[in-house]
Amino acid sequence: MLKLQSSKQWISQLSQVNDGVLLSLWVLMGAILRFTNLTAKPPWTDEFATMVFSLGNDFRSVPLNMVISLDALLQPLRVNGDAGINDVVSLLLQEDNHPPLYFVLVHLWVNLFQNVGEYVDIGVMRSLPAFLGVLSIPAIYFLGKIAFHSRLIGQISAALMAVSPFGIFLAQEARHYTLSILFVIASLLCLIITLRHIYNQSLIPLYLVFSWILINGFGLSVHYFFVLTLLSEAITLVLLVYAKFKHNSLKLSKRNLIRITAVFLGTIITGLAWILLVIPQGYGNNMITWIHPLSHILYAISPPFQLLAVWVPMISLLPVESDSIPVVILSGLILLLFFIWLIPYSIRGIKKGLKSNQFRVSLLILMTFISGVIALFMMITYVIGVDLTRAARYSFTYFPAVIVLVGASLGILWNQIKQENKKLQDKETINPLILLKKLYNKLNCNGQLAFYAVWFMGFLGALTVITNLGYQKYYRPEQLISVIEDNSSKPVLIATTHKSLVQVGEMMGIGLELNKKNELKNVSFLLVNQTQENDPQVTKILKEKVENMSEPLELWTVNFNPEVELNNCTISQKQYPYIDGYGYQRYLCN
């Protein structure tokens, strides 16, 4: 008997070791994917905001309405040894619309690296979110494992997170979304454990109450849209408790009610504290004016499709942004066929799980939570008129729940082995439709093969992102610099209009590419301040500055909105390629 118990104990320990080894494999693979080509893509305006504010520098140090050098343009990207955490927080409250926690962490992170160069290195800035993205892999493992009492579902969730194209996209940007994802995972875990205590009619531990309040407070101090996660958690909690209470199968004890109320009040007080801190400082400064109201028919019908475009890359992505039309068509077709199979298959796993006491509650929590966040997105978009679906990154608010839900559906069907359709096996043929049917049949009949297929499609999506064939940057300054290099033989003046720090970031992207290549020597910049549409003062300032230049030059107007009137300049009639993020025109001036 003692031998038998020792043997079982040894098998259990061996299983746990293998579990740890497998999780380490996902973590290692996720780390390699997130750090591969980390600096290959040029930074865009939001990343410049992270860099400048985290250094304790100010965009306002870039002069307006005067011709400036490359060094003056990139001055805010210099590491400022005199700046401290107070400077970072103060600048954010005055000029940005994000809470300061992540920016303070970046400030401390940058100080860990010495001799990063003349200007702060984008690799250093992106390495922190990449590292936090790697941490989300073990975090999602524990969420799946604890939620479903299944190490298998935890492992599958970790494997999907490791290769998720959406997760890698967020991890390779110098922004705060991967840190927010960690708090979403932690807060969801608190929700699931709390509901489990309520359903079992056991007392919610005090440590869970205080931990949940603390996690929610930190989440709000990283990104204000974390409030969508919290609202959906509240909706989920109320709906599921009410549904159980309605069927007379639940009695909510007074002590549990008090502790849930404490979580609600503690989170609300934390949120109000941030609002009271920020609003008097001129919160936002019109930083979300790029989110179009639903004033056009295309804006009105696009939100559901924009959400769909986010859901697909959470699991897989192929080179749909390739320059080759055949590649785009083939990629779209493969993705379509893949999801035509995956969606019904996942639904089957969820339906099976809903019949099991082990999985039912957690599945209901995740599905209600995801539906709640999506409903909030739609309400804000159509009722308030602010289209949050335009920014894929805002889906960080429910992304971990989607991964665990898909992981659970695959885990529930893991041991499923069915007899394949004999009719398809009897006849050997190279007919593509028959081959597709055979593949579809195999995937539906073998749960483990189904997981391998989903993971492999995720891995292809990861490669798509890190090679810049998917989730391409909004701005491509390296392409603009190549065009200028190929066509310019005189000194170059690059001019744009300035409305906010966004335009400074656009020019900084060009400036960093110039600094990296170091081929165009005589380049200067002009940012003309624009306070209203079609401002004649902008046209006048540009004309004066160009006429005051002492030698012949080439003027390149980039994202220049008002009319251009120049006496001694002729517009180039040559056709130039379209470049993402930069509308430009070349003028030859004597």
DSSP 8-state symbol, 205: P
pLDDT bracket for residue 590 (50, 70, 90): confident
**528: which strand partners?**
497
Model pLDDT, residue 288: 55
- pLDDT at position 271 is 81
Is the pLDDT higher at 44 or at 171? 171
Region label for 241, one of left (φ > 0), alpha (ψ between -120 and 50) or beta (otherwise): alpha
**Any domain includes 19:** yes
| In contact, 485 and 515? CB cutoff 8 Å | no
Say which range, 10-24, 350-364, 521-535, has the weakest mean pLDDT.
10-24
End-of-domain residue from the set 466, 498, 525: 466
- % of the chain residues with pLDDT over 90: 48
Per-residue pLDDT of 72-85, as tens digits, reads 999 999 888 788 88
> Which of 106-110, 300-304, 454-458 has the weakest average pLDDT?
300-304
CATH (domain of 505): 3.40.50
| Nearest-angstrom CA–CA distance, 26 and 155 | 8
Q: Is 62 inside a domain boundary?
A: no
Q: Which of 424, 444, 466 is the last residue of a domain?
A: 466
Asked whether residue 203 falls in the same domain as residue 267, the answer is: yes
Please report whether residue 500 resides in a domain: yes
Q: Which two tokens stand for residue 329?
A: 């068509």
Q: Which residues pair with 498 in a beta bridge?
A: 529
CA distance 92 to 102: 11
Q: How far apart are CA 338 and CA 148, in angstroms?
A: 26
Partners of 525 in the β-ladder:
68, 494
| Residue 108 included in any domain | no
Contact 212, 187 (CB under 8 A): yes
Residues 440 and 505 in one domain: no
C-alpha distance from residue 506 to each of 125, 324, 499 (Å): 18, 27, 12
* Average pLDDT rounded to a whole number, residues 536-550: 85
Lookup: tokens for 351: 């339906």
| CB-CB neighbours of 108 under 10 Å | 12
What CA–CA distance (Å, rounded) separates 274 from 278? 6
178 and 233 belong to one structural domain:
yes
85, 266, 188, 387 alpha-carbon torsion, rounded to 10°: -70
Has residue 48 been placed in a domain?
A: no
Do 406 and 451 reside in the same domain of the chain?
yes
For 325-383, give the DSSP string: HHHHHHHHHHHHHHHHHHHHHHHHHHHHHHTSTTTHHHHHHHHHHHHHHHHHHHHIIII
Report yes or no on 560 lying in a domain: yes
d(CA 233, CA 242): 14
In terms of domains, do 418 and 456 share one?
yes
Cβ–Cβ under 8 Å, residues 386 and 225: no
Residue numbers of the domain that contains 507: 477-589
* The 523-529 sheet, strands edge to edge: 67-69, 523-529, 492-498, 553-558, 584-589, 569-571
| Domains: count for the chain | 2
Instruction: Clarify whether residues 317 and 253 are in a common domain.
Output: yes
What residue type is assigned to position 416 of the chain?
Q
Task: Report the chain's terminal Cα–Cα distance, integer Å.
Answer: 99
Q: What is the pLDDT of residue 285?
A: 47
Q: How far from chain centre, in Å, is Cα 160?
A: 16
Is residue 206 domain-shared with residue 145, that is, in the same domain?
yes
| Residue 249 confidence (pLDDT) above 70 | no
Mean pLDDT of 351-371: 94
Do both 454 and 514 map to the same domain?
no
What pLDDT is attached to residue 375?
A: 95
Decide which of 466, 488, 521 is a domain's last residue: 466
Q: How confident is the model at residue 45 (pLDDT cuts 50, 70, 90)?
A: confident
Taking residues 221-250, report their average pLDDT: 87
Provide the H-helix boundaries in 200-253.
206-220, 226-246
Buried b / exposed e over 40-66, threshold 16 CB at 10 Å, is ebbbbbbbbbbbbbbbbbbbeebeeee
In a domain, 6, yes or no: no
Token pair listed for 70: 């490359």
Cα 164 to Cα 455: distance, rounded to the nearest angstrom: 9
Separation between Cα atoms, residue 224 and residue 274, nearest integer Å: 9
Q: In this structure, are 394 and 371 located in the same domain? A: yes
Is 425 a member of any domain?
yes
* Same domain as 534, residue 442: no
pTM reported for the whole predicted model: 0.90
Distance CA 368, CA 395 (A): 16
State residue 42 phi and psi, 5-degree precision: -70, 145
Q: What DSSP designation does 69 have? A: E
Judge contact between 565 and 539, C-beta under 8 A: yes
Per-residue model confidence (pLDDT) at position 429: 52
| Residues 360 and 400 grouped into a single domain | yes
Handedness of CA 427, 428, 430, 435 (dihedral sign): positive
Question: Which helix (H) or strand (E) element contains residue 571?
Answer: strand 569-571
Distance from chain centroid for Cα 76 = 25
In the block, residue with structure tokens 């705060």: 176
Q: How far is Cα 375 from Cα 545, in angstroms, rounded to an integer?
A: 51
328 and 280 part of one domain: yes
d(CA 282, CA 287): 11
Q: Using the 8-state DSSP alphabet, how is residue 389 labeled?
A: G
pLDDT band at 330 (very low <50, low <70, confident <90, very high): very high
Q: Average pLDDT, whole number, for the chain?
A: 86
pLDDT tens per residue across span 125-166: 999 999 999 999 999 999 999 999 999 999 999 999 999 999
Q: Is the pLDDT of residue 4 over 60?
A: no
For 147-205, list the strands marked E by DSSP. Answer: none
Are residues 225 and 170 in contact, defined by beta-carbon separation less than 8 angstroms? no
